[in-house]
Amino acid sequence: MKTLEGEHINLRALEPEDLEFVLELENDENIWDLSNTQTPYSRYVIKQYLENALKDIYEVKQLRLVISSKKGASLGLIDLFDFDFKNKRAGVGIVVKDVSNRAKGYGSEALKLLINYSFTHLGLHQLYCNISEENKASMQLFTNNGFVEIGLKKDWNFNNGKFNNEYSLQLIKD
């Protein structure tokens, strides 16, 4: 896969030149709750990760794509994780880096492109995601794109001194 083209954004594979972007994003403490990150990543670790990102989804069970503007600016990342070929499912995660680029439709367009790619090219039957109860924007993003709430995990994550609930959502191919 080279690039998935949308109307306003593209999804493209990670490149070695994405080192600083990924490093900044992964070390942004404001989004650590989303990814259950506890400690910062070193430049060395991210560089190794980017070198391994070239491996096939069937081997590493993950696909991370850069959400980029039509002019090539990196806006965020969208992931397929826990890729399960046998059961034809994968988890989805998405983050748009700068707050100023959120709520502009980039995430929704990226998610639509990834859903289509997952069902059409990877032959998946379902996608799922896990969203903190406090993350109203992500709940809206995923439900607006066909994901259905299938459960609530009580006191699932411990962040900022308190336990938070987490919703499970899934999208099953028609």
Assign residue 88 the CATH number of its domain: 3.40.630.30
Q: Which domain holds residue 61?
A: 3-124
Residue 37, pLDDT above cutoff 70: no
Please tell me the total number of residues recorded for the chain in this structure. 174
pLDDT at position 50 is 79
Residue 33, pLDDT above cutoff 80: no
Report yes or no on 63 lying in a domain.
yes
Mean pLDDT (whole number) for 88-93: 96
**Between 152 and 31, residue with greater pLDDT:** 152
Report yes or no on 64 lying in a domain.
yes
Summarised one tens digit per residue, pLDDT across range 118-147 is 999 999 999 999 999 988 999 999 999 999
Report yes or no on 149 lying in a domain.
no
Report yes or no on 155 lying in a domain.
no
Domains in the chain: how many in total? 1
Give the number of C-alpha atoms closer than 13 A to the C-alpha of residue 10, restricted to the C-beta side: 15
Report yes or no on 153 lying in a domain.
no
Q: How many helices and strands, by DSSP H and E, does the chain display?
A: 6, 8
Report yes or no on 151 lying in a domain.
no
- 37: Cβ–Cβ under 8 A, 6 or more apart, which residues? 26, 31
Report yes or no on 132 lying in a domain.
no
pTM exceeds 0.75, yes or no: yes
- Can you give 41-95 as a three-state secondary structure string? CCHHHHHHHHHHCCCCHHHHCCEEEEEEECCCCEEEEEEEEEEECCCCEEEEEEE
Identify the band that residue 92 occupies on the pLDDT scale cut at 50, 70 and 90. Answer: very high
pLDDT at position 139 is 95
**Between 171 and 39, residue with greater pLDDT:** 171
Residue 1, pLDDT above cutoff 60: no
Summarised one tens digit per residue, pLDDT across range 40-86 is 777 778 787 777 777 778 777 889 899 999 999 999 999 999 999 99
Report yes or no on 130 lying in a domain.
no
pLDDT at position 118 is 97
The sign of the CA dihedral 99, 133, 64, 29 is positive
pLDDT at position 100 is 86
